[in-house]
Amino acid sequence: DTEGLLRIKEENQKHYRRAQRHQEKKEKIQRHNRKLGDLVEKKTYDLKTQYEHLANLRRTHILELTSVIFPIEEVKTSMRDPADASCESDSAMTSSTVSKLAEARRTTYLSGRWVCDDHNGDTSISITGPWITLPNNGDYSAYYNWVEEKKTTQGPDMEHNNPAHTISAALCYATQLVNTLSLILDVNLPKKLCNRQHSAFCVFVCVWCFNSEFCGENLSRHRFTRAVKKLNANILHLCFSQHVNLDLLHPLHTLRNLMYLVSPDTENLGR
């Protein structure tokens, strides 16, 4: 029994010395992990600082781009209807008649049905200048209505202020701006605007590919609507990537969504 007790004591001493070595090794690993943790924390801080610096650069470029080349502004086109003044001065006009006339002015016959237009064309959004605008409510029916009318009417187009031309030009500029913004923000667009979009240089090439779809030949209603949907989807994707307030966005308001995206009030612009 005494010999067995001695053997057990010797084994216990060996285990104790081994445990001490493991404890030293454990402390060494903990010191190494703390050093790595401090290093990772420093690198994370440096990376965050670089991200903020990059975001500020992107924000500066975008604000310069939208203030010098692609200014987007809200244009007030509302004018007091002369009928309103005459109705107010005419004592024979009842309030119900005035309200019915106001309702009639807010109603538009679009695509075989009557559509209520709350904005009534009072507001539009301009891009690159006050003369190139899009309707605030996203109604671009003037374009394909003009195309359908051109199919039945022969002869040169002498109407230089045709709203279809304005809509086409505004959509071209919006497409060019969206492509440039995706390049600056390094955000891949969900909808392809051109099949050759494989490099940074091709982004600018693709601008003209897609613009020709709007500005070149007269598009059918289906092709025009499809192109506008692709453009609106890309704009919304950029807005989501920059955390634009969702309450401000509307899937049909092309330039208004862009205006909110590049606004100086957008806190996360450039992220």
> 212-233 burial, b for 16+ CB within 10 Å, e for fewer?
ebbbeeebeeeebeebbebbbe
The pLDDT of residue 147 is 74
In three-state secondary structure terms, 113 is strand
Q: Position of tokens 């440096």? A: 46
pLDDT band at 141 (very low <50, low <70, confident <90, very high): confident
**Which position has the higher pLDDT, 110 or 70?**
70
Half-sphere exposure of residue 172, counting CA atoms within 13 Å on the CB side?
17
Q: What is the pTM of this model?
A: 0.65
The pLDDT score that the predictor gives to residue 32 is 94
φ, ψ for residue 116, nearest 5 deg: -85, 125
The percentage of the chain sitting over the pLDDT mark of 90, rounded to a whole number, equals 35
Q: What does the pLDDT average to over 102-129?
A: 61
Mean pLDDT is lowest, of 76-85, 122-131, 180-189, for 76-85
Summarize the confidence of residues 200-216 as an average pLDDT. Answer: 48
Residue 126, judged by CB atoms within 10 A of its CB (0-12, 13-18, 19+), counts as: buried
pLDDT number for residue 104: 63
59-81 per-position pLDDT tens digit: 999 999 988 899 988 887 654 44
Distance between CA atoms of 130 and 145, rounded to whole angstroms?
A: 23
Q: How confident is the model at residue 25 (pLDDT cuts 50, 70, 90)?
A: very high
**Sequence ranges of the domains in the chain:** 62-77+96-262
d(CA 176, CA 206): 9
Instruction: Specify the pLDDT at position 208.
Output: 43
Separation in Å, CA 269 to CA 234, 242, 263: 16, 5, 8
